[in-house]
Structure 1
Amino acid sequence: MLLRKILSFLINPLPVLYLLLLAGTVFLILRKKKTSRWFFLFSALWLLAITTSPFPRFLVSRLETRYPTLLSFPVSDTSRPVNILVLGGGHTHDLRFPPNNQLSANALGRLAEGIRLYRRIPHSRLITSGYAGKEDISQAMVMYRTALLLGVDSSRLSLQEEPRITWQEALSYRQNFDTTATLIIVTDAIHMPRAMMLFRKAGLHPIAAPTNHYVKKGFHRPKPDISLGAENIKMLEAAFHELAGLAWGWVRYGNEENPVP
């Protein structure tokens, strides 16, 4: 876990910039001016790349377009149960606010998509997921309470409060719910490739319902504008995090053709 966090930190865009600047400064102190200039040039080019939209949008789009939005769901076999699993996305248990305002923006977006599908699919069950972290109540419980506030029937609502990471969410679902039911997982579009990989490694066969897309195209703007700003660094950080997670999942949990028992 520590190694994963260190590697995740080192491949983030800002630490890479800091390392390039540090290397340039060291070579400048050592009077290696030519080498130093190269590092400072790479630093400037890297800063331009991570703060301008084309490169971050390209990487994010490659992840977000792997699975299309689940706009419709054919219900041909009404006897087969459908479970909609909303993966945890962060919360703060602040009693000054109602449950919906205790959820992070990501978690609220995921829950909204889960409820949309719940309303469109007869007899489906909504399952919220996520551990407590440093709070005294779990993400799953806060989403559960928010779902109740938004009109979800408590008899069609369940939760799993122990999982800390996506892999544990897959294992917890497999252990506690009917694996013969149709499973739909709801998470951020950028996170969906990793989530699908891990659920398949756990021996499950989910349907993807991505939401919270970073890259969106307006009706009158089929090609997104080129922009400069810190939001591009945020997108790139998210993309690097997911790419590192995909690589780690493949190494740590084996290949998809040989699911972990």
Structure 2
Amino acid sequence: MLFNLKKFVSFFLEPFTFGFLVLLLAFIFLLFNSYKKAKSILFVGLIFLFLISNSLFSNFLISPLENQYKDQKNIDISKVEYILLLGGDFEARAYEVLKLSLRLKDAKIITSGYAGKKLISDALYAKNELISLGVNENRIIMQDKPKDTIEEAISIKKLINDKPFILVTSAYHMPRAMKIFQKQGLNPIAMSTDFTSKKQKSNSYLSIKELKKVTMAIHEYIGLAWIKIKEIFN
């Protein structure tokens, strides 16, 4: 119930949905011959589109998320027993997992994530890809039931209890992931990857890439706000 409610709220607060609603509202005013109102709404929509699809704004939103766990490379990881790869964008996170697997040759790798509408789960996909990249299959543990980060944290708590582990996920997602895992009494070592807000030589405008970054950032801020709301009502 809560999972579906969160998804519903997130959907209506994301830029793509907002843009669609602006166009729909303008179209409704056109149907009723309110041309001035339709033009005004379309003008606001264009300004909004320009704002959310340029690198200055996208980096402004996503940098505070990505920089929270940026400098974690000098932390002692010698006692780590598990490397947890959260479900999602495997290609963006795989390099970090491979590096860690070479440094920590005895550590188990946990792949996580459910299938949803896909043919195979994120956990199975990640497992197969890691094996193809040379990781021994015996090192990999799958958790293919969790649907989101909260369920992943609950599942990992049951699996490894308080054993030391590294959490690998995209930099923009790490702050929310860490809060969720800490609420389960876990204290993972954060290893962020897939930084998107690195310095650029020039600013990008009307870019799908920047629009995607804004969408990701807003999704994370909604998730962080959701955690706060649950704290208040619990």
Query: 1:154-183: per-residue Cα shift (whole Å, max 9, x none)?
Result: 44332222211111110111001141x222
Q: d(CA) in 1 for partners of 2:50 and 2:119? A: 42
Corresponding residue for residue 88 of structure 1:
87
Corresponding residue for residue 161 of structure 1:
144
Q: d(CA) in 1 for partners of 2:31 and 2:114? A: 49
How has the CA–CA distance of structure 1 residues 85 and 28 changed in structure 2, closer, same or farther, with 3 Å as cutoff? same
Corresponding residue for residue 99 of structure 1:
none
Q: d(CA) in 2 for partners of 1:198 and 1:248? A: 11
SS in 2 for 1:133: coil
Corresponding residue for residue 20 of structure 1:
22
In structure 2, stretches of 5+ residues that fail to align are none
8 Å CA contact 1:73, 1:121 repeated in 2: no
Q: Does 1:212 align with 2:194?
A: yes
Please list, as runs of the form range in 1=range in 2, the aligned pairs for 1:90-169 lying within 5 A after superposition: 106-135=89-118, 137-169=120-152
Size of the aligned set, in residue pairs, is 231
Residue in structure 2 matching 1:237, options 176, 196, 215: 215
Corresponding residue for residue 103 of structure 1:
none
Query: 1:70-104: per-residue Cα shift (whole Å, max 9, x none)?
Result: 434425xx5x4431100011xxxxxxxxxxxxxxx
8 Å CA contact 1:84, 1:185 repeated in 2: yes
Query: 1:207-245: per-residue Cα shift (whole Å, max 9, x none)?
Result: 111111222236xx4xx5343322221111111111111
- Residue type matched to 2:115 in 1? A
Post-superposition shift, 1:203? 1.2
Residue in structure 2 matching 1:56, options 51, 55, 58: 58
Range 9-18 or range 224-233, more displaced: 224-233
Post-superposition shift, 1:52? 2.0
Post-superposition shift, 1:141? 2.4
**TM-score, normalization: structure 2?**
0.84
Post-superposition shift, 1:21? 3.9
Provide the identity percentage: 35
Residue in structure 2 matching 1:190, options 172, 177, 180: 172
Q: d(CA) in 2 for partners of 1:20 and 1:204? A: 43
SS in 2 for 1:204: coil
8 Å CA contact 2:62, 2:214 repeated in 1: yes
Higher helix proportion, which one? Answer: 2
8 Å CA contact 1:81, 1:123 repeated in 2: no
Query: 1:19-63: per-residue Cα shift (whole Å, max 9, x none)?
Result: 334444555666767655543432222121122221112101121
SS in 1 for 2:146: coil
- Residue type matched to 2:46 in 1? A
How has the CA–CA distance of structure 1 residues 210 and 82 changed in structure 2, closer, same or farther, with 3 Å as cutoff? same
- Residue type matched to 1:111 in 2? A
8 Å CA contact 1:129, 1:163 repeated in 2: yes
Q: d(CA) in 1 for partners of 2:131 and 2:191? A: 21
SS in 2 for 1:158: strand
How has the CA–CA distance of structure 1 residues 184 and 47 changed in structure 2, closer, same or farther, with 3 Å as cutoff? same
- Residue type matched to 2:222 in 1? A
- Residue type matched to 1:82 in 2? E
How has the CA–CA distance of structure 1 residues 7 and 178 changed in structure 2, closer, same or farther, with 3 Å as cutoff? closer
Post-superposition shift, 1:2? 3.4
8 Å CA contact 1:69, 1:211 repeated in 2: no
8 Å CA contact 2:167, 2:190 repeated in 1: yes
Post-superposition shift, 1:69? 5.1
**TM-score, normalization: structure 1?**
0.77
